[in-house]
């Protein structure tokens, strides 16, 4: 018979053995599991339930065998553990944790206001945190290039993607975490265009931005795309072109669709002629009637073309090695090779209604009336070389590093903006505002209002012009030279009579006007159109740059009105600005001695047919707008 004390000691020792190894209040081992959707766990757990707990008794090996089985046959989503608690405990967190993020190298530049680091494509970051090993770094859905990944430090480079403002996300086998602050990626911007109601800028990795006021910009387009070097607007379609023959188009600047050119070379410039887009680049060009379907276009040279424009019924393209090409139809090209005393690399070309301007290396600025015969201009005040140039509707606007210049005719240039910290790659302008874009996503803007008088060129013969400024124009002062002017005529709408002036009469033609029952006049008021019969070609200046707007004619009287507006609108845009639709709009081309015609009641095809049948000129096909100095008839 056993000693009762021995039995009692044995029981105490057994209890001590059960308690001491666990250090807890419970002696038994409990096996817990949660399948978290894992199919093997759901099929092979002890009870067939998605989660549960079973008591495996005091022997740990009974529980550990289940752990071993799960490690071999269950998926990673399933969770299981053994402990001395009858209640399942939450698993330890394996989700990456971000303590801080810092930019270690690269440049920063931004538009708007952000709350975190700003990146360019060369920017490298370091994240300090925990559980970071083997984590991926995502900007939205675009993965960054991870250079090194340890438990508490990740070093990565910003991804090649379009502009981005937002948090970053870290993902690993342990879970996903999102930063509490934003990071901004800023690409270089290479081009910008004014579309009448908005500016659209394009740049690196498919970056596309839009703005109605040039201050607040909205990201458009894809997260990742081809770098875009140039953009054009047709009136109903944007087209942007760039690296590897990339073309993308949009009807509104918001929704963009990539197009196919089957071309591996880069495209550096694009323009709209009124009937077709033409894009040029590394060693050739493409054309499209709608911006959607593209075909190969011939060129006059295999040299890279960096700029192209359309005016006066011809394309003019300019590029390396002194090459300038002209074409009336994008098929037959004529090569001109201006001799400016050395090899010139032309960077861009722009056109007013009467003048082409090309810019290039070695301080080259040249002008031409036809795109073929070029005159080099002396521009001692323009430094460094101009890199981009555009026509605002009232004047040429050019960029040079961080500077912006303006010129009424391409010969004399005035500095209007200067900031050495900026480097501009693109320029656009409305009649009253310029926008320059460039390195690191920089966007600058300024006013073109009150930049001095604007020159209006007249041809020999009849010229229909207008005072589109907000100040009166003295007839005798402006047109008092009898060697240049035969006569000047103004329509008096309320009376339906002509007013007359001629410098060949001592009284300005008053007696002659009375004899013919004309009125006389001494002033062309703001917003009035008028005719000048010139003996020879010459130029005169409008008194102010403050332009008359189309909306100021909303109360225009019924019947025939001879007017002028300075906001550089199309006839359709002018009609939209009126309180009631007009019947027709007409203006005169002094060079061709033909009428431009527009009727809002005719659709595009009917309008084209009517214009062709009457041998008129089409505003759209000739990129003709109602800009400063243009007089035009409106039948309302």
List of residues 6+ apart from 11 with CB closer than 8 A: none
**Mind listing the pLDDT tens digit for each residue in 68-93?**
999 999 988 888 999 888 888 777 77
Q: Would strands 153-157 and 164-166 be described as parallel, antiparallel, or unpaired?
A: unpaired
33: how many CB neighbours lie within 10 A of its CB?
25
In this structure, what are the phi and psi dihedrals at residue 174, rounded to the nearest 5 degrees? -85, -10
With beta carbons less than 8 A apart as the criterion, state whether 164 and 185 touch: yes
Q: Report the pLDDT averaged over residues 364-373.
A: 92
Instruction: List, for residues 175-196, the tens digit of each pLDDT value.
Output: 899 988 788 888 899 999 999 8
Q: Give pLDDT, residue 23.
A: 40
Residue 367 · residue 375 · CB < 8 Å: yes
Residue 481 reports pLDDT greater than 80: yes
Q: Identify the residue whose tokens are 């090996």.
A: 61
Pairing label, strands 183-185, 118-119: parallel
**For residues 404-443, b (16+ Cβ closer than 10 Å) or e, as one string?**
bbbbbbbbebeeebeeeebbbbbbbbbbbbbbbbbbbbbb
Length of the chain: 636
132 vs 364, which has greater pLDDT?
Answer: 364
Residue 530 predicted with pLDDT over 80: yes
pLDDT tens string 241-297: 999 889 999 999 999 999 988 776 899 999 999 889 999 998 678 999 999 999 988
> For residues 385 and 364, is the Cβ–Cβ distance under 8 A?
yes
Q: Whose CA is closest to 186, among 120, 141, 107, 139? A: 120
What is 286-322 written as a DSSP string?
EEESSSSS-EEE--S-SS-EEEEEEETTEEEEEESTT
The model's pTM: 0.63
What average pLDDT does the structure give for the chain?
86
DSSP labels, 507-539: TTTHHHHHHTT-EE-SEE-TTBEEEEEESS-EE
Domains and CATH numbers, the chain: 4-83 (no CATH), 97-185 (2.60.40.10), 187-297 (2.130.10.10), 455-635 (no CATH)
Task: Return the HEC string of 7-25.
Answer: HHHHHHHHHHHHHCCCCCC
- Mean pLDDT in residue range 492-498: 94
Would the pLDDT of 11 be above 50?
no
| Selection from 196, 191, 195, 194 nearest residue 207 by Cα | 191
How do residues 395-453 score in pLDDT, each as one tens digit? 899 999 999 999 988 988 888 888 888 999 999 998 888 999 999 899 999 888 655 56
- Confidence band for 479, pLDDT divided at 50, 70 and 90: very high
- State residue 190's pLDDT score: 95
End-to-end CA distance of the chain: 129
pLDDT, one tens digit per residue, over 157-168 is 888 888 888 889
Contact predicate 316/280, CB 8 Å: no
Burial class of residue 89 in the structure, from the number of CB atoms within 10 Å of its CB (0-12 exposed, 13-18 middle, 19+ buried): exposed
Token pair belonging to 73: 């046959």
pLDDT at 26 over 60: no
Q: Where are the beta strands (DSSP E) in 71-188?
A: 79-83, 97-105, 118-119, 124-130, 136-139, 142-143, 145-149, 153-157, 164-166, 168-172, 175-178, 183-185
Beta-strand runs (E) in 251-395: 257-259, 267-272, 277-281, 285-288, 295-297, 305-311, 314-319, 324-327, 334-336, 346-351, 356-360, 364-368, 375-376, 388-391
587 CB neighbour count, 10 Å cutoff? 24
In three-state form (DSSP H/G/I as H, E/B as E, the rest C), the secondary structure along 216-237 is: CCEEECCCCCCCEEEEEECCCC
| pLDDT greater at residue 23 or residue 126 | 126
**pLDDT of the residue at 25:** 44
Of 6-15, 90-99, 542-551, minimum mean pLDDT range: 6-15
> For residue range 604-622, what is the model confidence (pLDDT) as tens digits?
889 999 999 999 999 988 8
Distance of CA 469 to the CA centre of its chain: 30
The whole-number pLDDT of residue 453 equals 63
């Amino acid at each position: 018979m056993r000693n009762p004390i021995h039995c009692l000691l044995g029981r105490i020792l057994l209890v001590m053995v059960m308690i001491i190894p666990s250090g807890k209040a419970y002696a038994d081992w409990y096996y817990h599991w949660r399948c978290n959707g894992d199919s093997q766990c759901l099929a092979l757990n002890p009870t067939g339930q998605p989660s549960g707990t079973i008591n495996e008794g005091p022997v740990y090996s009974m529980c550990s065998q289940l752990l071993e089985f799960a490690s071999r046959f269950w998926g990673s989503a399933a969770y299981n553990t053994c402990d001395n608690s009858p209640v399942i405990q939450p698993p330890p967190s394996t989700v990456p944790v971000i303590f801080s993020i810092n930019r270690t190298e690269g440049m920063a530049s931004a538009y708007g206001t952000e709350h975190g680091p700003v990146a360019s494509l060369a920017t490298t970051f370091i994240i300090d945190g925990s559980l970071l090993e083997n984590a991926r770094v995502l900007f939205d859905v675009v993965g960054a290039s991870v250079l090194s990944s340890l438990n508490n430090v990740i070093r990565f480079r910003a991804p090649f993607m379009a502009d981005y403002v937002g948090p970053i996300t870290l993902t690993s086998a342990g879970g996903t975490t999102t930063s509490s602050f934003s990071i901004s990626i800023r690409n270089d911007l290479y081009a910008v265009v004014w579309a009448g109601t908005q500016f659209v800028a394009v740049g690196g990795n498919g970056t596309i931005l839009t703005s109605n006021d040039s201050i607040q910009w909205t990201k458009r387009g894809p997260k990742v795309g081809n770098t875009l070097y140039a953009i054009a607007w047709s009136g109903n379609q944007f087209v942007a072109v760039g690296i590897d023959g990339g073309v993308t188009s949009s009807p509104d600047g918001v929704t963009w669709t990539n197009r196919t050119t089957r071309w591996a070379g880069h495209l550096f410039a694009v323009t709209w002629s009124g009937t077709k887009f033409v894009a040029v680049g590394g060693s050739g060009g493409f054309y499209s009637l709608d911006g959607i379907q593209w075909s190969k276009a011939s060129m006059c040279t295999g040299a890279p073309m960096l700029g192209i424009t359309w005016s006066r019924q011809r394309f003019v393209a300019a590029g390396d090695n002194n090459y300038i090409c002209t074409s009336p139809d994008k098929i037959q090209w004529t090569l001109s090779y201006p001799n400016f005393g050395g090899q010139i690399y032309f960077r861009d070309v722009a056109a007013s209604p009467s003048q082409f301007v090309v810019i290039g290396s070695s301080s080259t600025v040249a002008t031409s009336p036809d795109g073929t015969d070029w005159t080099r201009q002396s521009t001692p005040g323009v430094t460094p070389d101009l890199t981009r140039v555009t026509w605002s509707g009232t004047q040429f606007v050019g960029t040079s590093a961080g500077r912006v210049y303006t010129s009424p005719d391409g010969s004399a240039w005035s500095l209007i903006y200067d900031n050495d910290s900026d480097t501009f790659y693109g320029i656009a302008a409305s009649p009253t505002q310029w926008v320059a874009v460039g390195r690191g996503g920089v966007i600058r803007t300024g006013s073109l209002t009150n930049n001095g008088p604007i020159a209006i060129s007249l041809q020999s013969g009849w010229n229909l012009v207008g005072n589109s400024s907000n100040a009166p124009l003295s007839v005798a002062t402006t047109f008092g030279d009898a060697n240049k002017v035969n006569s000047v005529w103004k329509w008096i709408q309320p009376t339906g009579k002509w007013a007359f002036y001629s410098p060949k009469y001592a009284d300005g033609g008053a007696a002659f006007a009375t004899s013919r029952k004309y009125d006389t006049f001494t002033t062309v008021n703001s917003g009035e159109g008028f005719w000048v019969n010139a003996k020879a070609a010459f130029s005169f200046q409008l008194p102010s740059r403050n332009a008359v707007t189309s909306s100021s004619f909303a109360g225009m009287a019924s019947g025939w009105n001879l007017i002028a507006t300075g906001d550089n609108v199309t006839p359709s845009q002018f009609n939209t600005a009126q309180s009631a639709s007009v019947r027709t709009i007409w203006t005169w081309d002094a060079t061709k001695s033909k009428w431009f015609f527009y009727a809002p009641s005719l659709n595009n095809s009917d309008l084209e047919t009517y214009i062709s049948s009457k041998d008129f000129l089409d505003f759209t096909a000739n990129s003709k707008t109602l800009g400063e100095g243009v007089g035009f008839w409106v039948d309302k």
